[in-house]
Amino acid sequence: MLLTPSKGENLPTAYGGAIVVGYAKVVKENVYMRCTHCGAVYDASPRRFFCEKCGGILEVVVEPPKQVVFRGRGVWRYHSLLPLNTSEPVTLNEGNTPLLEIKRIAENISFKGKLYAKYEGANPTGSFKDRGMTVAVTLAREIGVRHAIAASTGNTASSAAAYTARAGIKLTLVLPRGKVALGKLGQSILHGADIVEIEGSFDDALKAVIKASTISTSVYPLNSFNAWRLEGQKTIAFEIWEEIGVPDWVVVPVGNGGNIAAIWKGFKELREAGLIDSLPRMAGVQASGAAPLATAFERGLDKPEFVEKPETIATAIRIGKPINWAKAMKAVRESNGVFVKVTDEEILAAQHMLARLEGIGAEPAGAASIAGLKKLVEEGVIERGETVVVVVTGHALKDPDSMMRAPCRRKVASTVDEAVRMVVGGE
């Protein structure tokens, strides 16, 4: 049900109370939904994704609670800032990921400030998606979903497969055929998802999921157009803040644009709750063959021109039509941030640098943020004395083929003695 159209940020608390009967138990009272495009507000519903007035994408609004309590570890530590009431989440203890100072990379790029990597590869299935999935699958279970669906470049698939397995919910994935990295496909198979491989891109797969969830309420979508999922992902901001306060910049690889929007939302909510008074600038990094947002930013456009045939080695961000484009552009604009493009060569070089200077294994998309950081420092956009957090979104094991492309001195020894000579002789 549409409540009232509104352009303002500050809506009456009363709207938060209007929850559809049946969801009231799981959705908190201080929660409603709002269109990112036209500002229309709606009561909170787990099955509401797009604006009835303009078709724009919705966000979940959690009004600042009276009391903020942080308890425990990981995503559910921030229960008081999350939209759900639950004492038994579907969890694999996601979140609480390492925030690692990366001094050797800082030195390598002549960066004099404080530089950190937020290593999201350390999540249970190896990417930040787990933070969102714990929330979305908990909600799905609470409202009685039996069959979930998701389109994916790979990591959403792995994560949805693990969390739906834990919740006892059937999952069907729609994947772009031949374009999902081996580790991710393997995880999806291992956790028992049904898989539909579409001859097309991720954007086609997503279209199929949106259509399916529009025509049938018997399937529940776990993609990032489901704003409830992004609520879990905002906890990246909370963890960064608890550990080092508010950095000057947060650098994030961007595909559909959900994660950068979620992190920005997290920082804004900390400010609304009176816990911080400054905000970081957000830098979104796209691969040059799949960069509709970075191109729009370069050209000063309000809307991106979609890319029909996106191409990059960083398959996780091989997306031409970012479903959350408006949220991502808003995050960058509001934060006085930037979008930047990096080439596949720069992404692979960053992946190797992260692995070899810091011991951090990232899949290519996960290292794209490091490539973006390097470029932004070289261009003087990020100043050399600032405090920067680079989000490394996915684990190296996700994409074994990309690891095998790293340069390596490998030899074959046919005898033990030859191996000994090679080892001690440095041959």
Q: Applying CB under 6 A, which residues contact ligand PLP? A: 127, 153, 155-156, 224, 253-259, 316-317, 363, 365-366, 393-394
Q: Smaller CB distance to ligand PLP: residue 259 or 402?
A: 259
Judge residue 355's burial from the number of C-beta atoms within 10 Å of its C-beta, 0-12 exposed, 13-18 middle, 19 or more buried: middle
37 binds, among ligand PLP, Zn ion, none (CB under 5 to 8 A by kind): Zn ion
Closest separation in Å from C-beta 126 to ligand PLP:
9
Query: Which of residues 91 and 286 has its CB atom nearest to ligand PLP in the complex?
Result: 286
To ligand PLP, the closest distance from the beta carbon of 294 in angstroms equals 12
Instruction: Give the nearer residue to Zn ion in terms of CB position, either 35 or 139.
Output: 35
CB of 51 to Zn ion, least distance (A): 3
CA atoms within 13 A on the CB side of 315: 25
Q: Which does 253 bind (CB under 5 to 8 A by kind): ligand PLP, Zn ion, none?
A: ligand PLP
Distance CA 132, CA 229 (A): 4
Phi, psi of 249 (to 5 degrees): -135, 145
Which residue stretches of 168-201 are H helix? 182-190
Nearer to Zn ion, 41 or 354 (CB): 41
User: Residues near 179 by Cβ (< 8 Å), separated by ≥ 6?
Assistant: 153, 201, 202, 315, 318
Asked if 38 touches Zn ion (CB under 5 A), the answer is yes
Nearer to ligand PLP, 151 or 270 (CB): 151
Smallest distance from ligand PLP to CB 135, Å: 14
Contact 370, 350 (CB under 8 A): yes
In contact, 267 and 299? CB cutoff 8 Å: no
Asked if 51 is part of the footprint of Zn ion (rule: CB under 5 A), the reply reads yes
Q: 38 or 196, CB closer to Zn ion?
A: 38
Indicate the residue whose CB is closest to ligand PLP: 394
User: Measured in whole angstroms, how far is the alpha carbon of residue 255 from the centre of its chain?
Assistant: 9
The answer to whether 53 contacts Zn ion (rule: CB under 5 A) is yes
Choosing among Zn ion, ligand PLP, none, which partner's interface includes residue 307 (Cβ < 5 to 8 Å by kind)? none
Nearer to Zn ion, 53 or 271 (CB): 53
Buried b (16+ CB within 10 A) or exposed e, 371-384: bbbbbbbeeeebee
Q: How far is the CB of 27 from Zn ion (least distance, A)?
A: 21
DSSP letter for each residue of 214-279 = HH-TTSEE-STTSHHHHHHHTHHHHHHHHHH---SEEEEE-SSSHHHHHHHHHHHHHHHTTS-S--
Produce one character per residue of 219-230: b if its CB has 16 or more CB atoms within 10 Å, e if not.
Answer: bbbbbbbbbbbb
54 binds Zn ion (CB under 5 A): yes
**Which of the listed partners (Zn ion, ligand PLP, none) does 31 bind, with a CB threshold of 5 to 8 Å by partner kind?**
none
The answer to whether 313 and 348 have CB atoms below 8 angstroms apart is yes
Residue 253 CB, nearest approach to ligand PLP (Å): 4
Residue 201 site contact among Zn ion, ligand PLP, none (CB < 5 to 8 Å, cut-off depends on kind): none
Write out the residues near Zn ion by the rule CB under 5 A.
Answer: 35, 37-38, 40, 51, 53-54, 56
